[in-house]
Amino acid sequence: MSSFNRRTVLLSLTAASGLTLAGCGFEPVYGSGGSASRFLNQITVDAPTDNRSYLLTRELEDRLGRNLNGGYGLSISLSTFEDSAGRTITGATSRYNMIGEATFALRDLATGEVLTSGKTKNYVGYSATGSTVATVASREDATERLMVILTDQIVANLLAYAAQNAQ
């Protein structure tokens, strides 16, 4: 009678997946020698102009590092609007979608050359069925969630650029 050993199977699968990833040229973006290392702590994000751009800048600096004298500058143009997503029988809006669009440009501060640029767009929803205070809190939470999503998309674009243009 043979016995099945989960540990043996898991170890062999882990070893096989490690060999597969090593053979395909997989390299981590972060870490020593990773393509993101040239950007971490080297990007100066332009100063925010309002609360939403402040939230976006805060999230970007949290991921990329805060540097006021970096070699790269990141400009961001942010626009948001809200759209009715649900109505009650009486016609009152019960749910909103907050749509955000961020256009960004990464530039070399020494030459002024734009290295990469792009546009990200996404949305989040929030409820407007509670009290006024609950609706305001829900809107503020939606704003923060939207800025996190847009930040993730911007950082993903920057890391893809870094991976394609690693020196």
pLDDT of residue 60: 94
Q: Phi and psi dihedrals of 76, rounded to 5? A: -135, 130
pLDDT in tens, 2-49: 555 555 555 565 555 555 555 565 566 655 566 666 677 789 999 999
* The predicted structure's pLDDT at residue 64: 87
Mean pLDDT for 125-136 is 91
Rounded Cα distance between 82 and 96, Å, is 6
Please check whether the domain covering 35-164 is classified as CATH 3.30.160.150.
yes
Is residue 53 classed as helix, strand or coil in its secondary structure?
A: helix
Tokens encoding 48: 């925010």
Q: CB–CB of 71/109 below 8 Å? A: yes
What average pLDDT does this structure show over 109-114? 93
pLDDT in tens, 58-97: 999 998 888 888 889 999 999 999 998 888 888 888 899 9
pLDDT for residue 2: 52
Taking a C-beta distance cutoff of 8 angstroms, is the pair 139, 124 a contact?
no
